[in-house]
Amino acid sequence: MPFKMQPGKFYRMPVVFGPSLGPRQRGSIHTLFSQDAPKATVITVSFRTDPAQLEALLPEGFSLRAEPVVSVRFTCLKEIPWLAGRGYNHMGLSFPAVFKGKRDTVAGDFLTVLWENLCDPIITGREELGYSKIYCELPEPAVLAGTTHCTASWLGFKFMDLRVADLRVPSPEEAAALVDPASEGVLHFKYMPRTGDWGTADAAYATLTPHADPNKTVTERWVGSGTVKFHEATWEELPTLYNIVNCFHALEVREWLGAGIVKTVGAKDYSDQRILL
């Protein structure tokens, strides 16, 4: 008897082994997300740049909505229940944007790319959520003499250095000022090519990750100074990534706007992700 998909279940390739396992479909009795796990450390550096350079990165329907402030975030995730307690790291670059469609007008932070160092969250995030996820090596940050140093590389070629220093605990007013009240969440553009009909999309639309997360709690926060540098690369060094890295290398740094480290515990399962029309 040929394989048949079960109603009410969702699938990813390979589908013939049954419903897919992952962050939104359990394979065990364990809770996948809660107020107790996972644990995250988010290291952020921000700078002001040329607005025209950011506008050139926005898909149709998007526009820059505020000051041209770029934020590069390096996140370390630990004790992830859907990975049976394992973890992974990711790094992304975003900036404030607004999507205006036929139905929706949403202000948020457009995530241009999200590098991750594990295949499983890349696949689930790309196919189910519409995140622009790709792979690279993201080792644990090194901390020495008050400076936190993060790097990113691909098959041994280091293409990014991020450093944060001069850390201190912010005042309540400073901490409140770090939250953008106009942002409704993280904006993405999902694109999946149609097999054999090259240049045509099977899926091409904006998606939103709402900010609201009732499970997440900030446990510690620091602010300080920081820098980030993307290293120019050749095709030979980064044959599938050099166009992305060189675009970020070319971003003008008009002003460094500070840095920070935030530790959180708990997370949602992102089942509130939705398409914007």
Q: What per-residue confidence (pLDDT) applies to 1?
A: 84
Query: For residues 163 and 100, what is the distance between their CA atoms, to the nearest angstrom?
Result: 35
What is each CA distance from 229 to 45, 130, 248, in whole angstroms?
A: 10, 27, 9
Identify the domain containing residue 243 by its residue range: 31-276
Q: What is the pTM of this model?
A: 0.96
Q: Are strands 274-276 and 255-265 parallel, antiparallel or unpaired?
A: unpaired
Residue located via tokens 């390096």? 74
Name 243's Cβ contacts closer than 8 Å, sequence gap at least 6. none
In a domain, 258, yes or no: yes
In a domain, 74, yes or no: yes
In a domain, 248, yes or no: yes
In a domain, 17, yes or no: no
Cβ contact 4:223 at 8 Å: no
- Here the CATH number for the domain that contains residue 233 is 2.40.400.10
In a domain, 19, yes or no: no
In a domain, 10, yes or no: no
Name 144's Cβ contacts closer than 8 Å, sequence gap at least 6. none
> SS3 for 8?
coil
pLDDT per residue of the chain (277 residues) written in tens, 0 to 9: 888 999 999 999 999 999 999 999 998 999 999 999 999 999 999 999 999 999 999 999 999 999 999 999 999 999 999 999 999 999 999 999 999 999 999 999 999 999 999 999 999 999 999 999 999 999 999 999 999 999 999 999 999 999 999 999 999 999 888 899 999 999 999 999 999 999 999 999 999 999 999 999 999 999 999 999 999 999 999 999 999 999 999 999 999 999 999 999 999 999 999 999 9
In a domain, 4, yes or no: no
CA terminus-to-terminus distance, the chain: 40
Name 226's Cβ contacts closer than 8 Å, sequence gap at least 6. 44, 45, 162, 163, 164, 165, 256, 258, 259, 260
Query: For residues 206 and 16, what is the distance between their CA atoms, to the nearest angstrom?
Result: 29
In a domain, 156, yes or no: yes
Count: domains in the chain = 1
